[in-house]
Structure 1
Amino acid sequence: MSIACGGVYFTWVSPSLPRLTSDDSPIGTTITLEEGSWIASSAFLGGILGSLIGGILMTKIGPKQCILSSSIPYFAGWIIIILTKSPVMIIVAQGIGGIGSGISLSILPIYVSEIGDKDIRGKLGVLGMALVNTSNFIVLAFGPFVSYAALALLCSTFPLVFLITFYFVPESPYYLVKIGKKDAAMSNLRRLASGNVDEKNIRLNLEEIENTIQYDIENGTTLKELLTKENYRKSLLMVMGIKLLRAFNGTPAIDAYKQTIIESSNSMISPGISSIIFGLVPILAALICAICIDKIGRKLLITVAALICAVGLVAEGAYFYLQETNMDITSLSWLPTAGLSIYLFCNTVGVATLSNIIVGEMFATSIKGIAVPFFSIISSIVNFTVLKFYEPLSDVWGRYTVFWIFATVCILGALFVLLVLPETKGKSFIEIQRKLNKKSENI
């Protein structure tokens, strides 16, 4: 729900931006394309600050309370959007919402990996994304058909629901052991066992957690060591590659500009209906991914999905190229919605969903508290870059060129995953580190 609250900030832009840039703007002022690009991208700037805050808060109040605190900027941003008539304040509000998203994304992979058994880590991450896609569907399904204010009011209910429900979720046993609350950690381990309580296994799990925490204390790591030590070099390469693939394959830009893209394509399928389709497709994709991830594995899913994403993007670019050359493409007017649907489906099955899971799996627990917030900041920076320059580059080079660039990144990313990324399905954190650092005696 926490990531869903952040996702809504980015999805809200898709049905709202065409209204804000129209002559009949709901805030009484028609915003410029430049202001529109800032509205679409400013949440990622807030994400940079949120990631820094999350990294600091987690060590002081624990992952649960840290994630819970994200509801404050989430809710505050929507209140500003509902009340303001100023484009600048909408940009500020998006940035405030991005702070909540930065907090969530910098902490949640750690939290999920600490409360979930290795056999279901993938499913937990994917089912979380399924809920994100469900919230996005609500926004995309209602957005074109309700008023601007009503949509913002609807979005403001998400952080309230999250605040109420997440309050009752257990704290990470790792954090409880770290602060000396061993009995509370035992209690939470029993609760997380969900009825399948085996006291012997609970004690073994607690012992493993204590050993891990002791290792973390003895091998405390700094950001400088993360960036320079040989032990972390492969993990850095893997995660950086996945994060760059997720950003430069067009994920942030297409998520924000879906409805604008369809409106400019003169598709036979209306923007409103296309918006509903774009909301439903990722839900179906996330459910399929949840079924396949712990059977097929991360590596194959990302590789195949990225290649099919490239097909959808090439087709999308070809349509806009033919449109720009004034060819009769009436018979292909179904292609814009179909191409984006193929892309959204495969991107959800592969890169967009699994990137956060891989970040939580690639680093040893002793460095994870630094690594995950660090890469959350990197993600915010590259996502902001892609989103901020998508519209200006589309105007200069043509929308088709940008789609073909995204497709090229998908192909290069698939090769990277196939040749470099190790499979982490069903492996413990120690097993993953041993595989990454075969020559390292420290592991």
Structure 2
Amino acid sequence: MKFRSRKLMAGTAGVALAALVGLTGCASAAPSSSQPTLDPDEEVSITFTFWGNDVRAELYNEAIAAFEEQHPNIDVDIIFLAPTEYWEKRQIEAAGGGLPDVVTMDLAYLRQYSQNGTLLDLEPYLGTIIQTDPIDPQVLQAGVVDGVTTAVPLSTNSWGMFLNTTILDELDVEPFTDGTWDDYYEWIAEVTAAAKAAGKDVWGGVDPNTRFTNFELQLRAEGSYLFDDEGEPGFDKERLAEFWESNQSLREAGELVPQQRIAEVQPKTAFDAALSASDTTWDNSGAGFLAGLGEGYEIELLAPPLSVDGGKDLYLKASQMYSIASNSDHPAAAATLIDFLINSPESGEIFGTNRGLPASETARDAADLDELSQTIADYEASISDRLGDAPPVPIVGYGSLHEKFRELGEELNFGTITVDQAVDQFFAEMDVVLTQ
């Protein structure tokens, strides 16, 4: 499918796209040597596991073959599972103390596996076997739980805003460029009014206040956070109520995509169903949006609104990570494999952006980035002045809170609950999660 290209836009104006496990504990201590080394003459066998599809499996087969050619003394046994089966298998292994040597880790599970003692402290291997200079320190911080590094990120993404510039051109409305959240709400109302005047079944945006991450970004801009490393919230009921009330007038005036219309187009989103001229989400959502919209549409990626001058609201999120099991008999060999898969030019050439935008500059420079991937790379470079430290690894139970937040946002849009009721319900759920 052929799509038109738009010129990349610098700075805050954005960059454009053509439509193109139960026990409490801590991480296991690493070997006492501060300078671990790999014996090139020792024949060892390690296990490596990942999730994905057949395409990714073929890429890993190629990468492991290249690794074994460079390290003929290390034999890698690959364990590949579909995403739905992957974590079920890991949970069983963790309960029995038998995780594979190298585990592909997800940020949502990192705290759980770190605190139950099944992951190795990687600090002795960082900068020695696993090279860290090519990786942004803010990205590396994502693998730290309770002061212990138990994972190394291999790819990143960041929060952004997508605009459907084809819709905006048809409505003769200028794209949003930058401004505060209130400026964005006013722009949404302007787009919706233009669409109604033109008889179009289009709205200015999806309710941004149904997104937990948008709330997090506003807190970060103010110097606060969702949850600290101890699991304590950085907000109270009044601040959450303020967030949900900030665009209540848009809901009441029907200027956001109605929740009923969102339900009708599922599994598409309102944005890739061309109902919304804007949406805020992770920057690696572009490929899915383009596929859903189809030929004839152009979309643009830019930074989300910011209401605090100089606020460090954004961060690079580790989309996938590698860990070493604390039960590994060959941690140096496991660390050598991790370094190859994250940092080597061979790995960058083989995977490209299949696992996400490479976190390592070395691998990223070697990757053949398509237009979409290059646009995301340019976007992440353009927001450097807004990047703060990555937040602590999500608390155990974060997923249920994320889902509760979304559900309450939907009910607010349906008009079935008030803001005060939504706040009370969320804090009740949060109390349950934090006291588990």
For Structure 1 versus Structure 2, the TM-score category normalised by the shorter chain is under 0.3
Structure with the bigger percentage of helix: 1
Taking structure 1 as the reference length, the TM-score comes to 0.23
- Select the structure that is richer in strand: 2
